[in-house]
A = this chain, B = another copy of it.
Amino acid sequence: MPTRPVLRELGLNTGKKARLRRILFRHGLCNGTAFFLPYDQGLEHGPRDFFANPAASDPRFIVKLALEGGFNGIVTQIGLAEKFYWDYAGEVPLVLKLNGKTDIPADERALSPVNATVEDAVRLGADAVGYTLYVGTPAQEADFEQYRRVREDAHRLGMPLIVWAYPRGAAIEAKGGKDSFYAVDYAARTASELGADVVKVNFPHPEKRAAVPSSYDEEFTTQQAIDAVVRSANRTLVLVSGGAKLGDEAMLEKAHESMDAGATGLIFGRNVWQREHDESLRFVAALREILAKYPGESE
């Protein structure tokens, strides 16, 4: 059975270690697992994501949910961080997302432009920064370039770097799509090779085999697939994403398999807040029960 990497083995500098330890051992379940609440969909998809639960349009609703639900951190773009986090600063860790884009233009040359800096994150008291890297697009030249600067700043300032590793582009679509086992596995590895501290991946779909490289054109269980993805990430901590809202049973099953594979935690947004407040908390409680079964080594 795979084991989760422990902080002291990761070659982290002191600041990165201090902040990650704070996130993993002083928030949420305080047991080394992580449960993040991402809230950048207003930019990435637009307000349509809030129609299912209009209250979720208000960032205060989300921050309160994070506090009540015992999350290890919330993720926002700079604007919401500036306007809402000051009020809760220090109560729940902030992950400042440094790049983002609308979903209005087509995705074939997807590139997520940087709109905030690691220094902004320091200034706001954030405990990590987030960066979306689109793996496989023709724009990877510009993407790697802006990513490199973020990585350097994050290193210099001791700020953990969480990479949203998202396969994208025509070539990906032609080889099984963005959530195939092949695509997710390659994306996880890319984040690791390029120096992410934490990588957010979508749960892999081994059944999407149309035109994938032959190694992936075999029968794999979802457990085998997520095991491989976590292995590919090696010392980069893995967060598994919820993605679009699905049935609860399916989500809980994914969460179980991810933690079994050695993931460090979950990052669930729409699945959490696209429902009424109390129902959210019930779903959150179910996920926390799972995470509680995977206590990490105290460090």
Taking Cβ atoms with an 8 Å cutoff, the residues of A that contact B are 9-11, 13-22, 25-26, 40, 42-43, 46-48, 50-51, 54, 57-59, 76-87, 89-91, 94, 100-102, 104-106, 111, 113-117, 119-120, 122-125, 135-138, 140-145, 147-148, 151-152, 155-158, 167, 169, 171-172, 175, 182, 185-186, 188-196, 213, 215-216, 228, 231-232, 234-236
* Chain B neighbourhood of A124, CB < 8 A: 14-15, 18, 158
Contact of A216 among B48, B83, B144 (CB under 8 A): B48
Contact A104 B136 (CB under 8 A): yes
Q: A15-B124, A47-B186, A124-B18 are in contact. Are A58 and B234 (CB under 8 A)?
A: yes
Contact A182 B14 (CB under 8 A): no
CB of A72, distance to nearest CB on chain B (Å): 13
When all copies of this chain in the complex are counted, the total is 5
* Chain B neighbourhood of A9, CB < 8 A: 87
Contact B195 A125 (CB under 8 A): no
Q: A83-B235, A84-B11 are in contact. Are A115 and B136 (CB under 8 A)?
A: no
Q: A57-B234, A83-B234 are in contact. Are A105 and B138 (CB under 8 A)?
A: yes
* Chain B neighbourhood of A85, CB < 8 A: 11, 14, 18
Contact B193 A80 (CB under 8 A): yes
Contact A193 B13 (CB under 8 A): no
Q: A57-B234, A145-B114 are in contact. Are A215 and B48 (CB under 8 A)?
A: yes
Contact A43 B189 (CB under 8 A): yes
Contact of A147 among B26, B77, B111, B115 (CB under 8 A): B115
Contact B14 A79 (CB under 8 A): no
Alpha-carbon gap, A272 to B110, bound state (A): 37
